[in-house]
Structure 1
Amino acid sequence: MSKAIPIMIQGTHSDAGKSAIVTALCRIFSQDGYVTAPFKSQNMALNSYITVDGKEIGRAQGVQAEAAGVTATTDMNPILIKPTGNYESQIVVHGQVYKNMKAGEYRKSFYEQGIKLIEESYKRLEDTFERIVIEGAGSPAEINLNDRELVNMRVARITNSPVILVGDIEKGGVFASLVGTLQLLEREDHQRVIGVIINKFRGDVSLLEPGLSWFEEYSGVPVLGVVPYIDNLMIEAEDSVVLSQYTSKADASKEIDIAVIRYPFISNFTDIDPFFEESDCHVRFVKNPEELGNPDIVILPGSKNTIEDMLFLYNSGLVNRLLDLSQKGKFIFGICGGYQMLGSTIEDQMGMESSLQKTDGLGIIPMKTSIRTKKTTTLSEGIVTYKEMEIPVTGYEIHMGESDYEEACESFIRIKGSSDGFMSKDGKVIGTYFHGIFHNDLLREEFLNDVRVSKGLNPIIDRAAFSTKREEAFDRLAKVVRENIKLDEIYKKMSEYQKA
């Protein structure tokens, strides 16, 4: 096999849609018969993905690998940065915790090591795959950072990749952001840009034509596509910035109201994604008691800094409301950090996540949690006994906490030789370390039907499989992007660039 042909997608800013375009191209190239891999040298995200060998990478790269139909590896994201607060982040190298570092220390002392990691990882991918779709981060025009950056034009040079620049028209000023970004690039980097894609367009594209013509004449860079805004695209996000698009208000037209607590260090919120596809569910993210209201289900998701986020619950006044809802028999579900918060205390004596050593939890579960130095990252499976049904479940674990019960409790999941989580006798309070628990279709169906029955509603039988819907979403994204970009020209420019 000859060396892979790369293409790199960069953006004018964060959330321009780079990840979606990379996911689409991974699917398109795979559909066209090329063995394809995603690559993001350095990812800053709190949403993680666990590889088959139990390593942790950015969730977007795992999902992109799924779109390409290949197995995700740490070479696809060798450096993962997980912010923990106080300008400090946990640095994950090839799926394992390296150390906690402040931004200045990381930039100063990790750069050369990072370059080597990136070169080695890309070389392995290059020798294995036929096409590599590389994703940048933020903007390549961050002139205050470009001398030691590890994710944009530096990577384009290392991989000898042409670049497509993506601009988000939905936010406004797309031509200004594209032109400004191009003008701030070094000459060598500017020449790498083979074209731009305007993303998230709503309306009649013919009305945009004068702007497209002006841009091409002014910049000398071709427009390779105008991709429309895609509603209800069920592909997991990696950045909490997307949470701003979700409402905090209840929707009376939906029968089940689900409130997800949005604390500052929320992580792996993609656990909630399957509920967005349920016709009777309305999901909203809330930050205060007024927004919380009177939901049917409260979900406490994962957290990168459980103690700090627990203090947020106290300071915001959410603790009393959560306890009140629990006493009223509402369904309370905690996942990972959210599970830990349901307990009586959380301790971090070693300062692994926080400078604060201890806080009280909600006290709903008689359980103490201690944050340890060793991080658990693993794919997991087990059996849930739910309403007298034996339901097989799979998930993944990413946590540094160990939880111990203060009295005998009913576990939620039976694992070979062990157990996980907590479930109250009435099934109204559940906690687990299993991320992805709601992606298990039968369990999700039984859980939601339990909620429906508690409200006097009839159960819904045979809900659609989430995995099937996600595959359909990959195909729909690929179809829309394929129909709205100049794919033949992109293929041509990718090949020409390697020959130049």
Structure 2
Amino acid sequence: MAKVIMIQGTMSNAGKSLITAGLCRIFHQDGYRVAPFKSQNMALNSYITTEGLEMGRAQVMQAEAARIEPQVCMNPILLKPTNDIGSQVIVNGTVIGNMPAREYFNYKKKLVPDILKAFHKLEEQADIIVIEGAGSPAEINLKENDIVNMGMAEMVNAPVLLAGDIDRGGVFAQLLGTLMLLEEQEKSRVKGLIINKFRGDVSILEPGIQMLEEKGGIPVCGVVPYMKVQLEDEDSLTGKFKHRKEALIDLAVIRYPRISNFTDFDVFEHMEGVSVRYVTSVQEIHHPDAIILPGSKNTMGDLKWMRENGMEAMIKKLSADTPVIGICGGYQMLGESLEDPYSVEEGGSLRGMELLPLKTVMSREKVRRQVTGTIDSLTGTLVALSGKEYKGYEIHMGHTAQEKSSIQDAVVVQKENVYGTYVHGIFDEGDIASTFIRALAEKKGVHYEDNQGMNYQQYKESQYDLLADTLRKYLDMEAVYGMLQEAEYDKSRIG
């Protein structure tokens, strides 16, 4: 029977995902079969498994840290926001429908059997399961019928490590306030506190740590420094969206309101001399070496947003000399038209950007599949990508085609400087990313050489090891292993 430990946070972006990933790598290094688990994830960054099932990318990242294949049982419930008050609900990798927040709040308790079934499947394969919570366990308006924080911990009798974010200030109030808002039986599950993202001399914290332990009655198990590891972030609070300086090769990614799967561009984040800027206005575009239209959870709505704020007109103007690449929803936008006969998004029809000779019709069924193959013969700036082997996945609600069947079948569709594809992760494989950047450099008349000397997968491995090394140094791993010894539970008591 698997041992369990759970990482909860005082707020979103307190570092739960990275701490979970780091513990997964540590336990793997120590010879254990380890797997991540998050009962419910709210994210627009998703992934398709080998079975064609959809799950949150945070658990994919953690599975990579554990060096195991991602499985949908690691994230049985995925919520993908469609607007400010509702989400698409995905259970065990398949869509069950769209729900307003209130409707889902009343419905979610019915998903407990699905959560436990997924957890039981995972524990058959693992010695240790590292569970990640969501948001904060002290969100008292959401505690009723909780299935992702203390409710999840109760289901599987998990000891909890509670992490606070000192970088955003008020970490002592975060931790003590959270503990004060917990019920006694919930607080008894918290076995250790973590002060995360610390910068400076830890000795300055010592009086505060002593008082924190006295008032909270729970030991501080580590003060973890701010780590400059480059691994995938959760959606809305990612630091990637902050303003960045333009480098030798500059990529402008359009950040529309419902941007999804921006992890497609993480591969460029570690490349020296390359900037990835997420832009929201005409004024921010400047003169990039390439413009990228990423995925979208509301393609028609986001295209209207670009049309209204002038971004569409600017992109069309720049496309005369600047490569424009659309992926998934961005690819659909580049076509001649989008039709939504079943009101999958907003209903009706909408003129596209008319940069590619394509038409998209939204469908009720979501396309979910992993794909591999060879990039078609391209011309112009990106000719060097022709014949490159790719691997990725498709996840979209529409079908795109045009009169020439060769266009419909091509993995990358091109018209002059404009390129489009449905394949997420297409830049991750082999040397596609570095070839892409070198092609942009050649067009610009400058020399570019990626000095990392490793492919993207190797780079991510180095980051997981760095994360594990840091946590080993600053976390009390002896205490963590001690918590695991009391983490077994009796399946019979939860049916």
User: Which TM-score bucket, shorter chain as reference?
Assistant: over 0.9
2:493 aligned residue: none
1:131-159 deviation line (CA, Å, top 9, x unaligned): 00000000001111111221011100001
Decide which of 188, 207, 214 is 1:210's aligned counterpart.
207
Pairing 1:347–2:342 present: no
Q: Which amino acid aligns with 2:55?
A: I
**Closer, same or farther: CA 74–321 of 1 in aligned 2, 3 Å:** same
1:166-245 superposed matches below 5 A: 166-231=163-228, 233-243=229-239, 245=240
1:219-298 superposed matches below 5 A: 219-231=216-228, 233-243=229-239, 245-251=240-246, 254-298=247-291
Decide which of 296, 299, 311 is 2:304's aligned counterpart.
311
Decide which of 347, 358, 370 is 2:349's aligned counterpart.
358
Using the alignment, how far apart are the partners of 2:323 and 2:119 within structure 1?
A: 46
1:343-387 deviation line (CA, Å, top 9, x unaligned): 1111222121x2342222211112111110111111101111353
1:434 aligned residue: 423
Decide which of 20, 33, 36 is 2:34's aligned counterpart.
36
Decide which of 465, 483, 489 is 1:475's aligned counterpart.
465
Partner SS, residue 496 of structure 1: coil
Pairs aligned (count) = 483
Decide which of 432, 435, 438 is 1:446's aligned counterpart.
435
Q: Is the 8 A contact 1:267 1:303 kept in 2?
A: yes
RMSD of aligned C-alpha atoms?
1.7
Using the alignment, how far apart are the partners of 1:122 and 1:409 within structure 2?
A: 44
Q: Is the 8 A contact 1:368 1:406 kept in 2?
A: no
Decide which of 397, 410, 414 is 1:400's aligned counterpart.
397
1:435-480 deviation line (CA, Å, top 9, x unaligned): 0011123222222111111111124378630110000000001111
1:85-135 deviation line (CA, Å, top 9, x unaligned): 1522111111111111111111213422x1111111112222321100000
1:478-498 deviation line (CA, Å, top 9, x unaligned): 111111000001101221354
Q: Is the 8 A contact 2:3 2:487 kept in 1?
A: no
**Closer, same or farther: CA 155–461 of 1 in aligned 2, 3 Å:** closer
Using the alignment, how far apart are the partners of 1:292 and 1:449 within structure 2?
A: 21
Using the alignment, how far apart are the partners of 1:442 and 1:204 within structure 2?
A: 41
1:182-225 deviation line (CA, Å, top 9, x unaligned): 00001100000001111111111111111111101111110001
Partner SS, residue 36 of structure 2: strand
Using the alignment, how far apart are the partners of 1:347 and 1:100 within structure 2?
A: 19
Q: Is the 8 A contact 2:153 2:159 kept in 1?
A: yes
Q: Is the 8 A contact 2:157 2:489 kept in 1?
A: no
Using the alignment, how far apart are the partners of 1:208 and 1:172 within structure 2?
A: 13
Decide which of 370, 374, 387 is 1:379's aligned counterpart.
370
Using the alignment, how far apart are the partners of 2:143 and 2:251 within structure 1?
A: 43
**Is there any run of 5+ residues in structure 2 with no aligned partner, and where?**
491-495
- Mean alpha-carbon deviation: is it higher for 169-178 or for 207-216? 207-216
Using the alignment, how far apart are the partners of 2:232 and 2:450 within structure 1?
A: 25
- Mean alpha-carbon deviation: is it higher for 6-15 or for 442-451? 442-451
Pairing 1:456–2:454 present: no
Q: Is the 8 A contact 2:166 2:198 kept in 1?
A: yes
